[in-house]
Amino acid sequence: MASYAFSTTFLFIISAVICYTFIDIETSNQESVTMLHSGSLLKLYISKLVYSWLFSVPLALYAVLFPALFQKFDRNPSFEELCMSLIYHVSSSWLGVALACWFSSKFIRSRVMSFLLLSVVVVVTLSVQGIENILPEGLENMILLLPPLNSTVNVLVDYDAATLYSKLNVIGASLLYGVISAALFLFMLHRRKLDSSYS
C-alpha cells in the first residue's frame, strides 16, 4: 500500500493541473454562450469542477489496477486494499480540483502569477509534515487550511497498522475539505458576479 502513496500524491498534482487548465479553457465570449446554455454561472462552474474530477477517475483506475494486474508489488493486494486505494486516489484527486479552482482567472487575472501561486500551494501541501514540525506553538492550526493530503499518504504508508477509523476518517476529511473549498469558491464567484452586475 505504501507504493500507492506516491501515485495518490501524483494524481493530486495531475488533478490540480487538469482543473486549472479546464476551468479557464474558454474565452469570455465562449463562456457567455456556454453560460446561456447551462442556465447560470454557478451551474457552469459546478459542471467544470465535476468534469475535472471525473477526468481523473480513469487515471485513478490505471494507477490502482495497473501495478496490481501486472504484479508490480511484492505481494498481490487484496480486494479490500484495491477498493480502498481507489477511494483514496479519487478523494485525493477531488482535493486537487477543489484547490486549483481558486486560481481561476476570475480571481487572479495573470495566468503566470496564478500558476506560480498554485505551484507554491501544491509544494506547501506536499511539505506540510515538515512545516508543521517547525511552526511555533499556536500557529499549528494553520495547517488545517491546507488540503489534508498528508493524512491520506500517512495512512497508505502505514496501512496495516492504521485503524478502521483512521482509514475512513482521511477519506471523509478529503471529501469534506473539497466540498467546503468548492462551495466557498462558488459562493465567491456568485458574489463577484452580483457585485459586477450592480457596478
Share of the chain above pLDDT 90, in %: 62
Residue 181 near residue 91 (C-beta atoms within 8 A): no
- Find the mean pLDDT for residues 27-37: 83
**Does residue 197 carry a pLDDT above 80?**
no
| Angle made by CA atoms 25, 30, 32, in degrees to the nearest 5 | 115
Q: Which residues, at least 6 apart from 139, have a Cβ–Cβ distance to it below 8 Å? A: none
Return d(Cα 22, Cα 36) in angstroms, integer. Answer: 19
In this prediction, residue 141 carries a pLDDT of 74
> In whole angstroms, how far apart are CA 152 and each of 33, 74, 147, 165?
40, 22, 10, 13
The neighbour count for residue 42, using CB atoms within 10 Å, is: 15
Local structure of 174: helix, strand or coil: helix
Place of cell 486505494: 85
pLDDT on residue 184: 95
User: pTM here?
Assistant: 0.91
127 φ/ψ angles, rounded to the nearest 5 degrees: -105, 15
What is the predicted pLDDT for the residue at 196?
53
Cα angle 93, 94, 100; round to 5:
90
- Does the pLDDT of residue 140 top 80, yes or no? no
pLDDT at 18 over 60: yes
User: Using one digit for the tens of pLDDT, what is the confidence trace for 94-135?
Assistant: 999 999 999 998 899 899 999 999 999 999 999 988 887 787
- List, as one string, the DSSP characters of 54-92: HHHHHHHHHHHHHHHHTT-SSSPPPHHHHHHHHHHHHHH
* Per-residue pLDDT at 65 exceeds 50: yes
